[in-house]
Amino acid sequence: MPPEHWADLDPDQRVQRVVDLGLPRFRAKQLSTHYFTHHSSDPASMTDLPANSHEWVSALLPPLLTEVRRLETDRGDTIKFLWRLHDGALVESVLMRYVGRVTLCISSQAGCGMNCPFCATGQAGLTRNLSSAEIVDQVVRANQVVARGELGGKRRDDHSADRVSNIVFMGMGEPLANYKRVVHAVRTMIAAPPDGLGMSARGITVSTVGLVPAITKLAAEDLPVTFALSLHAPDDELRDELIPVNSRWKVDEALDAARGYFDTTGRRVSIEYALIKDMNDHAWRADLLARKLNARGRGWVHVNPIPLNPTPGSIWTASDKAVQDEFVRRLNAAGVPTTLRDTRGKEIDGACGQLAATDED
Ligand code: SAH
């Protein structure tokens, strides 16, 4: 694991660390303000600390992410970052500006062990879990980039988006397979300043292949994050193939757990569905999905189909536009709110399922 970092600790542990170093307790608050409010890890910029503080500041805020490469779209409103971790492992995050919000797609693991055949990340397997701080630092680093004006596409009248407002755990990794560190990272993101980033839990989406016991546990955390289930097929025969963990937790169990998340938190859940040509895009599958969702009640769920982003070496492609539209129409007609999700960053291999983190291309 990486060196322990300030963002791995709870607020009381942080105070303990500075006390252990023989420093006054209020140094903890100062350091938190620098890191979580001003997004700085650089002792030279911390002019309210004594000149001899460099050493302990650097020890408590060790560098975690080294920027290896940055790819931008033409308009510069989408940036994909490739980060190297202390041990050489690589992860990516994707920063996207929309009107009124800035969304960061973050990684929770280096690689992924879920082995979904349509996802680029799944092909290389799991390298390791990220620490809480490695997860949080992706947000802090993105905030620095936004603050420096390096993310394009900002409208002159848009004052709401000078930092990351929304997080999606849709980068590399299965967040619920790194449960403890992900939950701690979320708590740090939503903790009020200076103890955390002061983000809204509703703006944070945790997306999972459907690890059922972890979904139930997450629901009980009292963290009103948005929950998304990557379903991709309403029937076990096909889902066994698309999401290998379906051999362990079946479609109906995953849907029951998703409904349970709504019951416990009151938060409407999302169902993700990558539309793959002639694979899972049939009208009867839309109807079966609607039946299974409606069987569990109304108003608790919406469906977000997304056209498949083709990945290298895959024989699968996105559904035709007319087929996508019909899939969406059938769900809506059955009373299940459904909107086609837009896809960003395809040109820079930064769209969903394309994050593969190679240092070569
Ligand atoms: N492991 C988590 C989160 C990471 S993937 C999960 O599976 O939910 C985020 C989303 O991108 C998931 O819904 C995933 O199924 C989807 N995805 C993966 N590969 C994709 C691809 N090639 N095209 C479109 N979506 C993809």
Residue 77 shares a structural domain with residue 54:
no
Residue position matching structure tokens 């620095």: 144
Same-domain status, 24 and 82: no
112 catalytically annotated: no
87 assigned to some structural domain: yes
Q: Is the CB of 208 under 6 A from ligand 1?
A: yes
Q: pLDDT tens-digit profile of 149-194?
A: 999 988 777 766 789 999 999 999 999 999 999 999 999 999 999 9
Asked whether residue 238 is assigned to any structural domain, the reply reads yes
Residues 34 and 74 in one domain: no
Highest mean pLDDT among 42-46, 122-126, 312-316: 42-46
Q: Does 272 sit in the ligand 1 pocket, CB within 6 Å? A: yes
Cα(142)–Cα(302) distance, rounded to whole angstroms? 29
- Tell me if 303 sits within 8 A of 345, measured CB to CB: no
Q: Is residue 89 part of a domain?
A: yes
Residue nearest to atom 13 of ligand 1 (CA): 230
The CATH number that applies at residue 91 is 3.20.20.70
Q: Are residues 35 and 92 in the same domain?
A: no
CA of 330 to the centre of ligand 1 (A): 23
pLDDT at 159: 67
User: Distance from the CA of 252 to the center of ligand 1, in angstroms?
Assistant: 20
Indicate whether residue 108 lines ligand 1 (CB < 6 A).
no
3-state secondary structure of 306: strand
Tokens matching residue 183: 């939950």
Closest ligand 1 atom, residue 208 Cα: 8
pLDDT at 361 exceeding the cut of 70: no
DSSP string, 134-157: HHHHHHHHHHHHHHTT-S----TT
119 lines ligand 1 (CB under 6 A): yes
CA dist 241 and 108 (Å) reads: 24
- Ligand 1 binding pocket mutation candidate from 96, 114, 167, 207 (most atoms within 8 A of CB): 207
Residues 128 and 152 in one domain: yes
- Looking at the DSSP bridge assignments, the partners of residue 226 are 205
189/194 Cα distance (integer angstroms)? 11
Can you give the residue range of the structural domain that contains 37? 6-59
Distance CA 269, CA 227 (A): 5
Question: Active-site residue among 105, 112, 116, 352?
Answer: 352
Cα-Cα-Cα-Cα dihedral sign, residues 80, 85, 87, 91: negative
Strand partners of residue 92 = 82
Cis-peptide into 194, omega within 30 deg:
yes
Q: Which of 230, 198, 201, 236 is nearest to 215 (CA)?
A: 230
Report how far residue 287's alpha carbon sits from residue 153's, in angstroms, rounded to the nearest whole number: 39
How many domains are contained in the chain?
2
- For residue 361, being part of any structural domain is answered with no
Tell me, in angstroms, the distance from the centre of ligand 1 to residue 248's CA.
Answer: 19
What confidence score (pLDDT) does residue 125 get?
Answer: 94
Asked if 350 contacts 71 with a C-beta cutoff of 8 angstroms, the reply is: yes
Distance of alpha carbon 267 from alpha carbon 187, whole angstroms: 17
357 part of a folded domain: no
Task: Quote the pLDDT of residue 343.
Answer: 79
pLDDT tens-place string over residues 205-261 = 999 999 999 999 999 998 999 999 999 999 999 999 999 999 999 999 999 999 999
Least confident of 32-46, 63-77, 183-197, 343-357: 343-357
Q: Round to whole Å and give the CA distance between 181 and 214.
A: 13
CATH of the domain at 21: 1.10.150.530
Select from 59, 85, 102 the last residue of a domain.
59
309 CB within 6 A, ligand 1 = yes
Listing DSSP states for 55-105 in one string gives: HHHHHHS----EEEEEEE-TTSSEEEEEEE-TTS-EEEEEEEEETTEEEEE
Cβ pair 75, 342 in contact under 8 A: no
Cβ of 275 closer than 6 Å to ligand 1, yes or no, is: no
Q: Which two tokens stand for residue 283?
A: 């009208």
Instruction: Say how far apart CA 76 and CA 97 lie, in whole Å.
Output: 9
- Average pLDDT of the residues in 46-67: 96
